[in-house]
Structure 1
Amino acid sequence: MANEAINKKDLNLYENDTIKPIVSFGLITDIHYTDNDDRWNYSETFLRRYRNSLKLVDQACNYWLNAKYPIAFLLQLGDLIDGLCSTDKTSEYDLNLILKQFRNISPIYHIWGNHELYNFTRNELLNGPLCSFDTKDIEPAHYGTIQVCSNLKIIAIDTYELSLLGIEKTSEMYNQAMNFLRKYNQNENVNDPSGLDGYQQRFIQLNGGLTQKQLCWLQEQLTKAESLNEKVIIIGKRKTNIEIVFLIEHINFELIQIHFCLHSI
């Protein structure tokens, strides 16, 4: 987001004056706001224009608020603020600042990425403005469903539930995540992918995964949607892992309308 410009002409290509949509919603991701000068991302593949992200969010909101068909809700797919906010000790201030940019757009459903977990603990996120689902039975995980209309449901998954980020190093979940990573990554620094090939390079600290509990929940949601003849949109932060692909292929691929798992490191 921080590296993209919004072209209104391009956006208008997707508008159709003859067909009224059943539902219209917004989607935004990887804003990475921080009050810092531009710099390259972790993998040095593109330049992050941190301060400019405020302007881009404002442009996006202007488009949504003035669209012919108002959006019913907004999906925010994580990395709302950058990890540099934690270094600068401005996490809470910067989060409130970027949230104000969305003005009166509501509701907003938030996904947590690694940069949320660089800035806040899971307990802080569960008790803050980025908690979008009823988590009393799954804490400290953060996932749930959004019933868009009678035959369309969004399933939001927590792709950092099994992770080293945002939790105490003395916790059982931290030990489980570390033991899992160490099966594949024996480097002294677990954020170092050296010696790992292809998909094995995902076994580093900045990534995450789903626990068996969440995978079972996802399977239940897909099975239920299939029985009700519902279409499903799956949203999350990281790329699809092997277990989720297996579930999708063995339930009914036609069930899955769109799968959003976006990330920029």
Structure 2
Amino acid sequence: MVSATGVATAQPLFSFGLISDVQYADIPDGRSFLGVPRYYRHSFLVLQRAVKEWNTHQKHKFVINLGDIVDGFCPKDQSIHAVKKVVDEFGMFRGPVYHMIGNHCLYNLPRSTLLPLLKIQTLDGCAYYDFSPVPEYRFVVLDSYDISAIGWPQDHPRTLEAMKLLREKNPNEDKNSPTNMVGLERRFLMFNGGVGKEQMKWLDGVLQDATNLKQKVVVACHL
């Protein structure tokens, strides 16, 4: 193994667990919006196996969940219970767990409810942050729905900015439809999001600080 300074080492500096798109829901198996088979209840069992494996490993310093903790088809009267159930299972890991939000999370709950459940402590409802598991490394968790038509109140400036962009870039009445859009134009859909100017400024500052500290940086983001 090689350390952050390029010096050969006998052991890695650290290891960590990684998982994405649990997309749990207490509903029968079905298909996603795009027709992909989904096993909603079984996904919780997969998470349980992952947590058991992480704990068995006994060397993971932390775990990162890359988002979509529950599925968009989860009945809305079950959303809070479903999120709590999955978060509690993550809590069985014997170490810190770092969450990020995805579009399916925001289909279920507004940020004001979701972020406290995920134990994401940020300013003004945004969900980006950073942490350093060891002095040589910095992990950056981005909020890819910073500018978004979902998750914020309908009259929130970030919602209005997202809707303005969608009206300019997506000619379809259904803003979740990419019909007649090609290439990069197809990204301008309502279920997508973007990183705002304030977050970009924050990221620039974090990267500059990491550079000054000679840290290597890992950037995590839900796509």
Q: State the TM-score, normalized to the length of structure 1.
A: 0.77
For residues 11-26 of structure 1, what are the structure 2 equivalents within 5 Å? 19-26=10-17
Indicate yes or no: 2:36 matched with 1:36.
no
Equivalent in the alignment of 1:141: 126
- Identical positions, percent: 32
Supply the distance in 2 between the matched residues of 1:173 and 1:99 (Cα, whole angstroms). Answer: 27
Which residue, 100, 103, 110 being the options, matches 1:114?
103
Of structures 1 and 2, the one scoring higher in RCO (CA 8 A, sep 6+) is 2
Equivalent in the alignment of 2:117: 129
Q: Secondary structure at the match of 2:18?
A: strand
Amino acid at match of 1:129: L
Indicate yes or no: 2:152 matched with 1:167.
yes
Equivalent in the alignment of 2:81: 93
List, as ranges, runs of 4+ consecutive aligned residues in structure 1 with deviation greater than 3 Å: none
Q: Secondary structure at the match of 2:61?
A: coil
Equivalent in the alignment of 2:65: 76
Question: Is the contact made by 1:164 and 1:205 (CA closer than 8 Å) also made in structure 2?
Answer: yes
Query: Displacement of 1:88 after TM fit?
Result: 4.5
Amino acid at match of 2:84: N
Amino acid at match of 2:33: Y
Amino acid at match of 2:191: L
**Residue-pair matches, total:** 214
Q: State the TM-score, normalized to the length of structure 2.
A: 0.90
> Residues 104, 151 of structure 1: CA spacing in aligned structure 2 closer, same or farther, 3 A cutoff?
closer
Question: Is the contact made by 1:74 and 1:105 (CA closer than 8 Å) also made in structure 2?
Answer: no
Question: Is the contact made by 1:141 and 1:161 (CA closer than 8 Å) also made in structure 2?
Answer: yes
Query: Displacement of 1:111 after TM fit?
Result: 0.3
For residues 180-199 of structure 1, what are the structure 2 equivalents within 5 Å? 180-199=165-184
Q: Secondary structure at the match of 2:50?
A: helix
5+ residue gaps, structure 1, are 1-17, 239-265
Q: Secondary structure at the match of 2:28?
A: coil
Question: Is the contact made by 1:131 and 1:142 (CA closer than 8 Å) also made in structure 2?
Answer: no
Supply the distance in 2 between the matched residues of 1:148 and 1:93 (Cα, whole angstroms). Answer: 31
Between 52-61 and 221-230, the greater mean CA deviation after superposition: 221-230
5+ residue gaps, structure 2, are 1-8
